[in-house]
Structure 1
Amino acid sequence: MLVNESRLINAPVMSLHVGGRIGVTKRPIINPANLRVVAYEIVAFNTPVPLYLLTSDIREFGSLGIIVDDADEFVAAGDVIKLDEILKINFPLISMHVRDEDGKKLGKVSGYTVDTLNFEVQQLSVRRSLLKEFTDTGGLLVHRSQIIEINDSAIIVKAPKAKIAQPIMNTERGNFVNPFKTPQVDNSSTTSL
């Protein structure tokens, strides 16, 4: 199911074991190498230390919120090495610059859509500059297949290539016969008796 990222922030975390709410999501932890949400920082009840919920431990996302088996699914910083590496990167997807492969500035990321089956970022919402907002209609939507590179300063996407329409066949004006025009009979060449 595709979900706007705003629905996954401040979402309740529900436990099947407890049968109720055990925390709230605070922010996503995104791996810039594959644009996948690997974890969510969690504000857990009765815990002053920031905890993380790996997306691989999420059973499902529904109308009640994020459903997990138990509060034992929460991990602290330092418990999972791969998570620590991504936390050190501190990748901020929102407000990152977006450019095309020709270097043209397209805008900044204002939001994104996540697939809740694998927690991959599927689409970026790009807000254009104020001047472009007046001249163009709305913002841009960039699918993950259009992303070429993600570096420290910007997300590079494929530049739109305008294709010039080629004629299907060349027609010459003189050789064209109109099938709806009645044939004209030339009466001047007939002989009279």
Structure 2
Amino acid sequence: MKYLVVTSLLVFISLFSCKKEELDFKFSGNVKAPETGENIQNAAVKIYTYSTGDNIETLKGSTTTDASGNYDIAVERSKFETLVIRVSKKNYFIDEKTYPIDDLTTEDQNAITHFLSPKSWTKFILKKGGVTASNDHIKIQKVSGKTDCEDCCKNETKFYYGNEDLDVYCLNDGNKYMKFYWWTIGSNTSNGIDSIYNTPFDTTSFTINY
């Protein structure tokens, strides 16, 4: 009788454990660079959930990628409406993916590929000449390059006035080009069309004299 009770208890625990695992969302992901396909090691992976009717995010799990850029993480299924996977690493742009709960499965791995783009910078060096007039200025029209980040420059026309040299930085994806038109207006009039190839994690300078 004692043996039967112990056996029944073990079976119950086993079934409960299996049932709990079935209610977990399991994620298997890979993080890589978009242009080169290089796997990115030690990227931080965090999973947040949002409950129905509010905008408060709750951290449900976190891990880091291995040497092959892979990660595995499980999140217990609970009452939430949306799940967000946020992947980040220093000097890379954040990758964030959002999933309604109905798009996820507890029956199999949720396989996801993330792309982290390396950051790079364009530095416009605006240099004043010798004798200049008060209305001398530079016009730069950026027409390509990243625009959807806090420190990115919009694809628009900007005017720069002043009697001192000025440095203007524009953030861009590494391994991408930034194209722009420029004009010097006033004492020294000139113009041009140029593009800069942005090397990952580096700053590329372009000087305009006026």
> Shorter-normalised TM-score: what interval?
under 0.3
TM-score (norm 2): 0.23
TM-score (norm 1): 0.24
Whichever of the two has the greater Rg, that structure is 1
- Relative contact order (C-alpha < 8 Å, sep 6+): which is higher? 2
Structure number with the higher strand fraction is: 2
